[in-house]
Amino acid sequence: IWWLDPELTYGNAKPFVFTQGHSVCNRSFFPCFDTPAVKCTYSATVKAPAGIQVLMSATQSTYLEEEGVYQFYMEYPVPAYLVALVAGDLIHADIGPRSRVWAEPCLLPTAISKLSGMVERWLTAAESLYGPYIWGRYDIVFLPPSFPIVAMENPCLTFIISSILESDEFLIIDVIHEVAHSWFGNAVTNATWEEMWLSEGLATYAQRRITTETYGAAFTCLETAFRLDALHRQMKLLGEDNPVSKLQVKLEPGVNPSNLMNLFTYEKGYCFVYYLSQLCGDPRHFDSFLRAYIEKYKFTSVVAQDLLDSFLNFFPELKEQCVESKAGLEFERWLNATGPPLAEPDLSQGSSLTRPVEMLFRLWTTEPLDSAAAASSVDLTKWRTFQTVLFLDRLLDGSPLPHEVIKKLSECYSSQLDSMNAEIRIRWLQIVVRNDYYPDLYKVRRFLENQMSRMYTIPLYEDLCTGTLKSFALEIFYQTQNQLHPNLRKTIQQILSQGLTPLPAIDTTAVTTDTPAMVLEDKVSEATNGAISLRDVNVSA
């Protein structure tokens, strides 16, 4: 349960509170069987001060104004982690026949402009693929930057961090991913956290089917290429033999399941599901299977064998061919082998978008550098966001770059990138930091002075402290710490403290020693000594 003072909201007017249940945090919210194997309906009564709007992940709600009491009821069985509450200075606007957006008053116009009419389009596309949307309403609430992840698929009420509003393509993908969870994860749930891919891999596959239907195959292939790049980057850092790269991960006693949230869960899981779809010959045949799978198992929890048995029973001709035992691509190997996916999707339909990225990257990294040719070859302002971040990620992978290259890159692109969204800017600033490019360091300071979210602060602080700029990081932190949530302050303090004598005490009374929201960031930092940035693992639930 995250309690925020007014200063930690965008409006600075009223306090704010939200809960984050995934994976096993709701045991600190209410007594429950905190496992995805157990589902139940729930009701709740919440009393709140006048002027505070309360919302929950429920199908029905009423408000008794004279008593200040809200009553909620979820009529369908859900696992404990999908019970969610948010309360604060929130107002709403309808953006479709069964959708509304909730946000602080100062953010609502932006949220409306970005999403009006869009959610219904995505829901309709999803229904055409996977059957009726069973939850009634699909509303979205935008949370302050303290929200510890990007998005959470709470049924009827998706939670999304407000910081993502400025990055249109990331917003689209994040919302569609949560829409897909309405079928995969919420209706049919993984029975154990050791098989989280059953939720995330299937939701990622469904997300990409929806984006293909609504935005075309080229855009979907571009986004997939960007994510698979990140998967291979994470694999290179963690090692191909790392047990967390298995789809069926062994959860040791006492380990928080949130530690298992990584890109293998999403992207290796997606690759397996995509492989199954290719066995059918036509993705529409696989869509038909998934509709039958949802109908059979909705409101229950499943294990991998349920999915695979259903698949083979639905396609008896594949069962006769023993596709589950195909040499090198055995289902058992998909589930239990460490390392990269056994097969990856054909992304050639995205070549019109990915080829210019590859060409520009080669121009900037081929010796001798022809900066004039590189600079004149592409206008980044006309690129999609995913093209630009794919290009910058590859430059990051190659950093530190020769000084001449980083100098010319700054001359060509720095001013253009200043006006782009935060997903792009943070990557350029990480390039600046990893290359110790002092002329642009003031932009790093300016960025951190205006960011309060984990996803746009932790990566830069980790890079600053890995290199020679720790004193610069300390200076910025002491200037900005009061605008950060105590949990985030503590995480940054831990990053800054590595290799130093202890920092002066900072008030972290609101933080427990095992704050669940910090698990992913702390684990990554410890596992790689700062060599990996959170952009590689900061994924939607």
pLDDT at 525 over 70: no
3-state secondary structure of 62: strand
Give yes or no: residues 45 and 161 share one domain: yes
Res 377: pLDDT: 82
22 is in an annotated binding site: no
User: Is residue 512 included in any domain, yes or no?
Assistant: no
Give yes or no: residues 315 and 435 share one domain: no
pLDDT at 476 over 80: yes
Res 499: pLDDT: 62
Residue where one domain finishes, among candidates 128, 158, 182: 182
Interval 60-97: pLDDT, tens? 999 999 999 999 999 999 999 999 999 999 999 999 99
CATH number for 65: 3.30.2010.30
pLDDT at 508 over 50: no
pLDDT at 123 over 60: yes
User: Is residue 173 included in any domain, yes or no?
Assistant: yes
Res 467: pLDDT: 81
Give yes or no: residues 267 and 139 share one domain: no
Res 51: pLDDT: 95
Res 513: pLDDT: 31
Give yes or no: residues 9 and 157 share one domain: yes
CB 342 within 8 A of CB 329: yes
Average pLDDT over residues 38-51: 97
Average pLDDT over residues 421-449: 97
Q: Which residues are catalytic?
A: 178, 266
* Number of structural domains found in the chain: 3
User: Is residue 503 included in any domain, yes or no?
Assistant: no
Give yes or no: residues 367 and 431 share one domain: yes
User: Is residue 474 included in any domain, yes or no?
Assistant: yes
Give yes or no: residues 156 and 215 share one domain: no
Give yes or no: residues 225 and 138 share one domain: no
User: Is residue 356 included in any domain, yes or no?
Assistant: yes
pLDDT at 239 over 50: yes
Question: Which residues, in sequence order, are bridge partners of residue 60?
Answer: 73
The model's confidence at residue 260, banded by pLDDT at 50, 70 and 90, is: confident
Res 523: pLDDT: 31
CATH number for 207: 1.10.390.10
Task: State whether the Cα torsion 233-234-235-239 is positive or negative.
Answer: positive
DSSP string, 500-526: SSPPPP---TT--TT-GGGHHHHHHHH
Range of the domain at 308: 190-251+258-336
Strands 139-143 and 85-88: unpaired
CATH number for 483: 1.25.40.320
pLDDT at 537 over 50: no
User: Is residue 341 included in any domain, yes or no?
Assistant: no
Instruction: Name the least confident of 57-71, 136-150, 383-397, 521-535.
Output: 521-535
The model's confidence at residue 373, banded by pLDDT at 50, 70 and 90, is: confident
pLDDT at 517 over 60: no
Interval 331-367: pLDDT, tens? 999 999 999 999 999 999 999 999 999 999 999 999 8
- Looking at the chain, the whole-number percentage of residues with pLDDT higher than 70 is 92
User: Is residue 159 included in any domain, yes or no?
Assistant: yes
Residue where one domain finishes, among candidates 281, 311, 336: 336
Res 500: pLDDT: 57
Give yes or no: residues 13 and 155 share one domain: yes
The model's confidence at residue 259, banded by pLDDT at 50, 70 and 90, is: confident
Average pLDDT over residues 411-418: 94
177 is in an annotated binding site: yes
Give yes or no: residues 393 and 329 share one domain: no
pLDDT at 528 over 80: no
Give yes or no: residues 214 and 331 share one domain: yes
Task: State whether the Cα torsion 7-536-110-182 is positive or negative.
Answer: negative
Give yes or no: residues 327 and 399 share one domain: no
Strands 85-88 and 53-56: antiparallel
Give yes or no: residues 358 and 423 share one domain: yes
CB 518 within 8 A of CB 451: no
Sheet of strand 60-64: strand arrangement: 39-47, 69-79, 60-64
DSSP string, 421-449: -HHHHHHHHHHHHHTT-GGGHHHHHHHHH
Residues 6+ apart with CB under 8 A from 237: 528, 531, 532
What's 300-342 look like in SS3?
EEECHHHHHHHHHHHCHHHHHCCHHHCCCCCHHHHHHCCCCCC
Res 536: pLDDT: 36
Instruction: Name the least confident of 176-180, 303-307, 519-523.
Output: 519-523
Interval 52-65: pLDDT, tens? 999 999 999 999 99
Q: For residue 214, what are the CA distances in angstroms to 292, 315, 343?
A: 23, 28, 26
Average pLDDT over residues 483-502: 86
Res 520: pLDDT: 33
User: Is residue 447 included in any domain, yes or no?
Assistant: yes
Res 375: pLDDT: 82
The CA-based angle 417-455-418, given to 5 degrees, is: 10
Res 505: pLDDT: 40
Average pLDDT over residues 226-254: 94
Res 532: pLDDT: 36
